[in-house]
Structure 1
Amino acid sequence: MTMPATPPHWSTLPHAPAPGTQLTMLNDLPDGQATLLALDTGGGPQQPFRLLLLRSGTQVTAFVNRCAHFGVPLAARQDLLIFKPHTSITCNVHYARYRWADGTCESGECEGEALIAVPLDVGTDGSISIGGAGQTPGSHQIPR
């Protein structure tokens, strides 16, 4: 068995947003919701930087909206996104299933690989932005 490929760092992807880029407000992310965002960061409307935000209680996690198996978006539109709140997200092209908590593929052609995590900052005012360059991607605790 070969080892899964190491995914690229999110900041090296085309049209990656700069740290500090404002994404949304915490109040716009219901608990248990998976939310797609398409950011125009220089690629124009035909080449947005696609993100997936997951909220689970006091945790907010961001991943690049890109299947580890085939490199396509997990879903092109919010209404096409397949997810089980707090549990999993499923690619609607080849049905690879990823764990909600860490983006690891647990079923499908890319089993053992993972979605590309993006660091977040959540301000005391509820603003959510791209985290700093030295920050470790993953879940971000919501400040109280």
Structure 2
Amino acid sequence: MKTARRLCQLTDVPDGHSKGFNIEGQAIFVVHQRGRVFAYRNVCPHLNVPMEWQPDEFLDSDKRMIQCAVHGALFLIESGYCVSGPCTGQSLTTVLCEVRGGDIWITCDSD
């Protein structure tokens, strides 16, 4: 069964930044880019390791792509598709998300 859950206010993730969350044991992160919000599971498809450099740091230095901290693979923010690195052609696992009333909501599996 899918359940919608409120993560935080949109203002908690400034435009051009990212933030990680742990929802009932599921690590995810969101990226706020040019007014849009994207959410993914916090797992690199290559090594199944967390993506961030340090807490809430999922983006490259230009804040144009998601970057894996372990091997530097680069992923498109809009789709999670890997364009550079050992997992080129693979994608991050998307988590459905939307902004409602100034809050970020995700839709995830529930027990």
Could you tell me the TM-score, scaled by structure 2's length?
0.84
Q: Shift of the alpha carbon at 1:24?
A: 0.8
Distance 1:105 1:78, change over 3 A: same
Q: Percent identity?
A: 29
Aligned residue for 2:11, secondary structure, equals helix
**AA aligned opposite 1:37:** F
Query: Which residue number in structure 2 is paired with residue 116 of structure 1?
Result: 93
Structure 2: which 5+ runs fail to align?
none
Determine which structure has the larger strand proportion and give its number: 2
**AA aligned opposite 1:108:** G
Distance 1:79 1:130, change over 3 A: closer
| Paired residues of 2:97 and 2:106 also in contact (CA < 8 A) | yes
Larger radius of gyration: 1
Could you tell me the TM-score, scaled by structure 1's length?
0.66
Worse-matched range after superposition: 103-112 or 71-80: 71-80
Q: Shift of the alpha carbon at 1:20?
A: 1.4
**AA aligned opposite 2:80:** G
- Greater RCO (Cα-Cα under 8 Å, separation 6 or more): 2
The structure 1 segments of at least 4 consecutive aligned residues displaced by more than 4 Å after TM superposition are: none
Give aligned pairs, total: 108
Q: Which of 21, 28, 41 is the matching residue for 1:37?
A: 21
Please state if 1:102 is matched with 2:79: yes
| Paired residues of 1:80 and 1:92 also in contact (CA < 8 A) | no
RMSD: 2.2
Please state if 1:67 is matched with 2:41: no
